[in-house]
Structure 1
């Protein structure tokens, strides 16, 4: 039987409250009585209580996070790492806490409704293929912008990418050794740029990224329907 690799989750929470029209950074806004980021961390803990959790926050938010953990008696063990100037830099800083072999999930801190079954499926896929990127099919019609306007495209040919995005530690370290590029919009694009194949895993429409006030309304509804 093959030895099971250690599992890590780098939870990147570098957002502000600007688009949310809120004074607090969005990861600290409360949903169902506690900060969004706590819900997110708990989902990975619920999937695997031995997973090694690395939370990446802007340096100036670390003290606030420690105070929030005290206020809410939040006991899920995790390491905190100061983020970089960009998401690429933040993930790279988080990777500094990943030692040796393993499977590393990178997840948005403001996606608190990722389901444990989705996390499990993604880790299993990454264990086999070295990568697993969660995605869903678009519901709406899609048009591609052209020089003359726009054209309809076949919706079945497209996927909407979510997180977690899981890779072997060796692949992810190698990918993040290169300089940052403008077209790096997520970890999959960083890994793909070194020639690695990206395997897609079916996600969930509940796995929303909370970025606007409208998302908060959905979040409260999801949180109370569990």
Structure 2
């Protein structure tokens, strides 16, 4: 349960098709430990604050499937479902529109297929965004990297780079204003939108376990992570 004395909100964006997952259903609906990935994700935010307004953004065609899954699993996490747009930018805009009745506070935008975000990461991101306006979760690179130009490549310092995760948290009025900009191909995530709007992006530490489930190998890791968590809870 959160301890902050400021309002918090979550916009969970789930628009993946599952093509890289080589699955017949969207990856956010694939089961992990018998429960769809997306349900695990929403449960993380409910565990942080049972009263936090949660907006789930799904492709319109997938909303009936989600509703059926909620009935099938007797899923009780309170959330508001809205249809996404053609792009992630438009989907986040739609998610923010569902929070129009709220004036201030901090909003987290999170990938629906990152079901292992920890309570500590959520708390740190919210607190940092409340204090500084922005907070983007990242982790250092583990592997060496090379910059490729045509047929040539050159080693670069991996310590100068970070892998970006979610949640990405912002003061709600700031993110609203940033998303009033004209959409650009430069906008790869919420941080890039806010950065183009002229605000500094503050980084907070993530975790390698906070993976985005994208490929079949990721599902094996997800089952292992969940089993380890459940074993730890029983001790």
Q: Which runs of 5+ in 1 are unaligned?
A: none
- Map residues 164-175 of structure 1 onto 2, 5 A cutoff: 164-175=167-178
Among 105, 108, 111, the alignment partner of 2:108 is 105
Does the residue aligned with 2:204 lie in a helix, a strand or coil? strand
- Map residues 1-226 of structure 1 onto 2, 5 A cutoff: 4-98=5-99, 99-146=102-149, 149-226=152-229
Does the residue aligned with 2:212 lie in a helix, a strand or coil? coil
Within 1, Cα distance between the matches of 2:164 and 2:213? 15
Does the residue aligned with 1:205 lie in a helix, a strand or coil? coil
Cα deviation for residue 5 of structure 1 reads 2.5
Within 1, Cα distance between the matches of 2:150 and 2:30? 41
Q: Which runs of 5+ in 2 are unaligned?
A: 230-235
Cα deviation for residue 49 of structure 1 reads 1.2
1:8-38 Cα distance to aligned partner (Å, 9 max, x none): 1000001112111111110000000110000
Within 2, Cα distance between the matches of 1:214 and 1:42? 23
Dislocated runs of 4+, deviation >3 Å:
none
Task: Tell whether the 8 Å contact from 2:105 to 2:130 is kept in structure 1 after alignment.
Answer: no
1:131-180 Cα distance to aligned partner (Å, 9 max, x none): 10000000001112235612111111111000000000111011110111
Does the residue aligned with 2:136 lie in a helix, a strand or coil? strand
Does the residue aligned with 1:76 lie in a helix, a strand or coil? coil
TM-score computed with the length of structure 1 as normaliser? 0.97
Superposition RMSD in Å? 1.1
